[in-house]
Amino acid sequence: MSVLSNFFIKNNSCSFLSSVILASSITPSPTMSMCSTFLPQIPSNFRRNPFFSFPIKPLFSTCSKAFSSQSSKENESPARIGFLGLGIMGSPMAQNLIKAGCDVTVWNRTKSKCDPLISLGAKYKSSPEEVASSCDVTFAMLADPESAVDVACGEYGVANGLSPGKGYVDVSTVDGATSKLIGKQVKATGALFLEAPVSGSKKPAEDGQLIFLTAGDEALYEMVAPFLDIMGKSRFYLGDVGNGAAMKLVVNMIMGSMMASFSEGLLLSKKVGLDPSVLVEVVSQGAISAPMFSMKGPSMVQAVYPTAFPLKHQQKDLRLALGLAESVSQPTPIAAAANELYKVAKSHGLSDQDFSAVIEALKPQFQPSRKE
Ligand SMILES: NC(=O)C1=CN([C@@H]2O[C@H](COP(=O)(O)OP(=O)(O)OC[C@H]3O[C@@H](n4cnc5c(N)ncnc54)[C@H](OP(=O)(O)O)[C@@H]3O)[C@@H](O)[C@H]2O)C=CC1
Ligand SMILES: O=CC(=O)O
């Protein structure tokens, strides 16, 4: 199978862009020339470092042709990638970049989380500002809107270290207004900005199987595509900043409601004398089957919730999705009800459990006492 056909199969969502990039490796196109201010700091990396022999993702060498065709200078520095926020998602994402041979510099508020990555070869800087100033492109995977703004725009924040020719890619799940605020600060430095929240949890992050929902500077999107392809299995470019955030919030609104509904079903099945494990099996074979139910159902039946997606983040996403719905007067009664359930779960100390622990909020001990 040719490299080109691999590319289309793996990334059927962006086949137009792929063909633009591939074509650019042969004949410079207007799309690629849009990237030229950024390119001088990136391309030689793709000729000199181990990316070319990266065995799992032949796609990458396809993309790298686009970069190498833009430059023939031998004395350019390799692309330097910053990664901020090394929680459940950020750590495996940064790890995959390091394992692919990228030159990665990390920072995390709790410094100890940097140590495993440093031992894999990452560099360390002591602030987001220093990471951004020492890197060509900086990724951030932060908890929520507050931390995303703080890291990007606060004291010693990313914006202080950015300048023309650099790029900032925020992969955190935030609302569109937050993303636009960050984008504005980034653009004021002359750097490029891309929002790129991800769909997919801990395991897809470890396996490089995330789905990127990007929006913002298309030139930066094209520049970082090879890195997204190391961390993910597909990528969507959705236009203006805010669209990536909105897409992610809609997806997670659906997910939060599905999990709440599944929880009700598991508990009801048990109460009427059925085996909830059999319900999981039945669901898995029918039209409402979902990987999420098959993966999480068995542990939910056992009342254990190993954290992949923290419940507090699911509730944050529902809250932000409800705000999005409110902004356009779209009724979302199911999501609103689900949100209340996650709030109950949070108030009972389940914030850091997996979001499947929302089922606990439906159990008698967590229900408001009722007069018979
Ligand atoms: N887990 C999942 O399945 C998925 C999560 N997401 C989204 O990705 C983002 C990260 O999720 P995840 O990795 O699970 O979350 P974690 O809670 O594991 O990690 C959060 C990260 O944010 C940092 N952080 C929190 N507050 C601040 C602050 N005030 N200043 C600086 N850094 C801060 C944490 O630093 P410290 O280590 O110091 O606490 C940590 O690095 C969230 O927006 C989430 O909604 C998206 C897809 C899937
Ligand atoms: O945001 C969570 C996910 O699984 O996607």
Task: Enter the pTM of the model.
Answer: 0.84
Whole-angstrom distance, CA of residue 136 vs CA of residue 157: 16
- Does residue 32 contact residue 219 with C-beta atoms inside 8 Å? no
> Which residue minimizes the CA distance to atom 37 of ligand 1?
110
Output the CA–CA distances (angstroms, integers) from residue 68 to 27, 44, 64, 76, 199, in the order listed: 12, 7, 6, 12, 30
The radius of gyration of the chain's CA atoms, rounded to the nearest angstrom, is 22
364 backbone dihedrals φ, ψ, rounded to 5°: -50, -40
How many angstroms does the Cα of residue 150 sit away from the middle of ligand 1? Answer: 13
Instruction: Measure 205 CA to ligand 2 centroid, in angstroms.
Output: 10
Residue located nearest, by CA, to atom 26 of ligand 1: 147
Q: What is the mean pLDDT of the chain?
A: 83
Which residues line the pocket of ligand 2, CB cutoff 6 A? Answer: 199-201, 252, 309
As annotated, the active-site residues are 248
Q: What is the pLDDT of residue 64?
A: 35
The closest ligand to the CA of 251 turns out to be 2
Mutation choice for ligand 2 from 144, 234, 252, CB with most ligand atoms inside 8 A: 252
Report which DSSP code applies to 77. Answer: P
Q: Which two tokens stand for residue 23?
A: 């074509």
User: 342 with 256: CB under 8 angstroms?
Assistant: yes
Sign, CA torsion 45/49/53/54: negative
List C-alpha distances in Å: 252 to 70, 200, 201, 214: 39, 10, 11, 16
pLDDT computed for residue 168 by the predictor: 98
pLDDT above 50 for 74: no
CB 171 within 8 A of CB 196: yes
Give the pLDDT mean for 142-148.
98
Ligand nearest to the CA of 202: 1
- Tens of pLDDT, residues 283-321: 999 999 999 999 999 999 999 999 999 999 999 999 999
Residue 234's CB is within 10 A of a number of other CB atoms, namely 18
Distance from Cα 308 to the centre of ligand 2, integer Å: 9
Domains of the chain from N-terminus onward: 3-241 (3.40.50.720), 246-366 (1.10.1040.10)
Nearest ligand for residue 308 CA: 1
Q: Looking at this predicted complex, what is its ipTM?
A: 0.99
Query: 237 — phi, psi (to 5°)?
Result: -105, 120
| Cβ-based neighbour number of residue 12 at 10 Å | 10
CA of 27 to the centre of ligand 2 (A): 39
Q: Could you tell me what percent of the chain has a pLDDT over 90?
A: 77
**Is the model's pLDDT at 10 over the cut of 60?**
no
Under 8 Å CB-to-CB from 358, ≥6 apart: which residues? 259, 260, 263, 311, 314, 341, 342, 345, 350
Per-residue confidence band for 266, with pLDDT thresholds at 50, 70 and 90: very high
pLDDT of residue 78: 58
Whether the pLDDT of residue 52 is over 70: the answer is: no
pLDDT for 369 equals 64
Sequence-ordered list of residues with C-beta below 8 angstroms from that of 71, at least 6 positions apart, any chain: 39, 40, 43, 44
- Our answer on whether the CB atom of 151 is closer than 6 Å to any ligand 1 atom is yes
Q: Please give the pLDDT value at position 28.
A: 33
213 phi, psi to nearest 5 deg? -115, 90
pLDDT band of 370, cuts 50, 70, 90:
low
Query: 347 is written with which tokens?
Result: 């108030």
Contact (Cβ atoms closer than 8 angstroms) between residue 219 and residue 17: no
